[in-house]
Amino acid sequence: MSFVGLSDSEEQRMLRAIGVGSFEELLAAVPKQARLQKPLAIDGPLSEIELRRRFGGNARANAAESAVSFLGGGIYDHYIPSALNALAMRSEFATAYTPYQPEVAQGTLTAIFEFQSLIAELTGCDVANASLYDGATAAVEAALMARSQTGRARVVAAGAIHPHVLQVLTTYLDGRDLTLVAERGGQVAAEDLEAALGPDTACVLYQHPNFFGLLESPQTLHKLAHDAGALVIAHCDPIALALLEPPGATGADIVVGEGQCLGNSPSFGGPLLGYFACRASLVRRMPGRLAAETVDRHGRRGFVLTLQTREQHIRREKATSNICTNQGLLALRATIYMGLLGREGMREVAELCVQKTHHAALLAAAIPGYRLPYDGPFFREFVLECPADAAAIARAGIERGILPGVDLGRFRPEWRRRLLVAVTEQRSASEIERWADVLRAAGGKG
C-alpha cells in the first residue's frame, strides 16, 4: 500500500492539465537503461497488524523487554515522566520542520531558546546551541572549534574518556594530532597531563564524571590547560551537573556531553542528544543552530534562528560545521524533562543516583571475590572487579532477569573481569539486592 490518495480519474485529470497523454511522457529525461529493470526484492506490503507482529517479535528478542537494567556507559535508564511523553509526542512538535519560517514555528523556537537557557545554566556557560548529534560528535565539534580558535593543531584527550568518544574523535581527526593521556588510578594525574601539554596544544578534553564513573578535579585541569594557552573542553553528564560545580564556572571554555539521560529512551543508542555550550567570546565559531530573542513588527517578543551566516546553507565551505538536521525533538524532550523536574527534582534525581550507586558498590565489595579497583569518588556508576569473566556474569544475570552491568572486556581484553555498573533512581533496594544475588551466584561459580 502507500499513503497516496489519488483516484484513476483524478490522475487522468492531472495529466490532461499538465498537457501530456501519459505519465511516461514526464520521464522523458530518464534514460531507459537507467530505469529499474526488475521489481525490487523487498518484503511487504505489510498491514499494521502484520507490522505489529513483526516488530513485536523483534522487541521480544531484546532482553530489555523484561530485564532490570544496571547498564550505563553513556546511556542511562532514568525515569521518563508521563507528562513528558504526552507533550513531546504531539504532532505539533514531532511533525514540524526546522523553524525556518519563525512566524509559524514559535513553539519550536521558544523551546529551543529554553533548552539553550537550561543547558547554559547547567554547564555554567554563557551560551548553548540547539543540539548536535550525540556526545561523541559534540566532542569532535568542540575539538575542531578549539583548533580554529587557537590556530593550534593538537588535541589532548585526558583520562578515562568513553572509548567510543575517543574512537569517533580519532575518525574525524583522521589519526593526526591526537594525544591520549592515560588515566592513573582511574583519574587524570596532573603531572601526566602537564607533561603532554605544549605550545601546539589547542585543547584539553576530559570527561567528568569519567567513563569509570569517577569524578575528576576540573579546577586543576583547567589551570594546567590555560597555563599552556590551550582551551578546555569538559565532557559532562548533565544529571551529574545538577549536583557538581559547573565546569563553565571554573574556566572550562567549552562544555559538551550526551543528553540522552534527560528524558530520552536508551533506544539502542540512538537517537541521542549532543549538547554544546561555551563562553560568549566563542559564539561566532559555534557549530549548529542558535535561537535568539527578538520582537515582531508589533513589538511582541518572539524567537528566531540567528547567526545563520555560520551555517552551511549560507556559508557553504566556509561554515563552522556541516551540520544541518540536528536532534531537535530530543532537545525538546530534555527541555520538558528539566522543566518537570525543576530546581529541586534535578538535584533529587542526582542524589538518589549517588546514594543507590554507593549502596550497590558497598554491597558488592562485601561479596567474596569482588572488589572496587578505584578509590576516587564516583557518581552514578562504578567499576567492579569480578572473580569471573564479566561476560559470564552478564549471561547469568539475564537468566535471572537482570542486566548486571556493561562487560568492559568488550573494550579491552585486560578488562574482561570488569563490570561497569550504573544505578539510577529507578532501581529499588530490592532490585539492587537481586543484582547482588546474581553476583553472589556467579562469583561462586567463578
Partner 1 sequence: MSLERRLLIEQGGPGHRGPALPACDVPVRPLAELLRGARLRTALEFPQVSEPEVVRHFIELSVLNHHIDRGFYPLGSCTMKHNPKINDELASLPGIALAHPLAGDDASQGALRIIHDLSRTLAEITGFAAVTTQPAAGAQGEAVGLMMIRAWHRARGEGERRRKVLVPDSAHGTNPASVHLVGYETVTVASGSEATVDLHALRAALDDSVAAIMLTVPNTLGLFEPEILEVTRLAHEAGAQAYLDGANLNALVGLARPGDLGFDLMHINVHKTFSTPHGGGGPGAGPVAVAAHLEPFLPVPVVTEHGDRLRWDHDRPRSVGRVHSFYGNFGILARALAYILTHGESGLSRVSRTAILNANYLMRRLMASYDLPHEAHCMHEFVLSGRGLRKHGVKTLDVAKRLLDFGVHAPTVYFPLIVEEALMIEPTETETLDRLDHFAAAMERIAREARESPKILQDAPTTTPNSRLDEARAARELKLRWSVPGREASVAAARSAERQTIGRP
Q: Which of residues 208-247 bind partner 1 (CB under 8 A)?
A: 215, 217-219, 226, 229-231, 241-246
- Which 51-70 positions form the footprint of partner 1 (CB under 8 A)? 51-52, 54-65, 67, 69
Q: Is the alpha carbon torsion for 379, 260, 331, 313 positive or negative?
A: positive
Nearest of 228, 221, 219 to residue 205 by alpha carbon: 221
Q: Is 81 in the site for partner 1 (CB under 8 A)?
A: yes
Angle in degrees, CA 236, 334, 63, rounded to 5: 85
Q: How far apart are CA 402 and CA 69, in angstroms?
A: 6
| DSSP H/E element including 253 | none
* Contact set for partner 1, span 167-206 (CB under 8 A): 167-168, 170-172, 174
The answer to whether residues 123 and 241 touch, using CB atoms and an 8 Å cutoff, is yes
Instruction: Determine which residue in the list 184, 301, 371, 445 makes contact with partner 1, applying CB under 8 A.
Output: 301
Task: Work out how close the CB of 371 gets to partner 1 at its nearest, in angstroms, rounded to a whole number.
Answer: 18
Are the CB atoms for 378 and 212 separated by under 8 Å?
Answer: yes
**90 touches partner 1 (CB under 8 A):** yes
Q: Helix crossing, 163-173 with 135-150: angle to 10°?
A: 50
* Residue where the block lists cell 557518581: 379
Residue 11 sits in the site that holds partner 1 (CB under 8 A): yes
Provide the minimum distance between the beta carbon of 423 and partner 1 in the complex, in angstroms, as a whole number: 9
- The grid coordinates of residue 135 equal 556526545
For the CB of residue 21, give the shortest distance to partner 1 in the complex, in Å. 13
Residues 392, 323: Cα–Cα separation, whole Å: 41
The reply to whether 135 sits near partner 1 by the rule CB under 8 A is yes
Identify the DSSP state of 367: S
Stretch that binds partner 1, among 109-117, 178-186, 190-198, 436-444 (CB under 8 A): 109-117
Query: Least distance to partner 1 from the beta carbon of 410, Å?
Result: 7
Among 223, 279, 285, 400, binds partner 1 (CB under 8 A): 279
Choose one: 153-161, 351-359, 366-374, 438-446; the region binding partner 1 (CB under 8 A): 351-359
Which residue in the set 21, 22, 95, 413 belongs to the binding site for partner 1 (CB under 8 A)?
Answer: 95
Contacts (CB under 8 A) with partner 1, residues 391-430: 391, 394-395, 398, 403, 406-407, 410, 425, 428-429
Q: Return the residue of 21, 22, 113, 388 that touches partner 1, per CB under 8 A.
A: 113
Please, are residues 287 and 276 in contact by the beta-carbon 8 Å criterion? yes
257: β partners: 275
